[in-house]
């Protein structure tokens, strides 16, 4: 398994940062090539098993990325799997 890791320190508390990244309304500000959320009215990201589909722009076209939340450790970490057609599943931690 290949693991890629990137870290950055921000001048905010862990709780504030966690609340920001788990609020799907903020994803357009930090999600690379974000176009939209499918069904934003029902998108939630706080309980293992939650599913959200993000549409991103990749190589000039819109691509759907389905994300399933696996772990939610409040003020610490979220772990999720992303799936997109034609690519292997990827596991993420934030």
pLDDT band for 3, please (50, 70, 90 cuts).
Answer: confident
pLDDT (average), residues 4-31: 89
Tokens 């931690």, residue located: 93
CB 37 within 8 A of CB 54: yes
Name the phi and psi angles at 12, rounded to 5: -135, 165
pLDDT higher than threshold 80 for residue 2? no
Mean pLDDT of the chain: 92
What's the pLDDT at 30? 85
Q: Name the residue among 87, 74, 78, 73 with its Cα closest to residue 52.
A: 78
């Amino acid at each position: 398994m290949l693991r890629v890791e990137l870290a950055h320190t921000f001048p905010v508390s862990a709780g504030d940062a966690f609340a920001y990244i788990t609020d799907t309304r903020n994803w357009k500000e930090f999600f690379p090539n974000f176009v939209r959320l499918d069904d934003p009215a029902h998108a939630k990201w706080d309980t293992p098993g939650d599913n959200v589909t993000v549409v991103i722009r990749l190589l000039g076209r819109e691509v759907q990325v389905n994300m399933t939340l696996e772990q939610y450790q409040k003020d610490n970490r979220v772990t999720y799997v992303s799936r997109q057609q034609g690519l292997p599943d990827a596991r993420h931690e934030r």
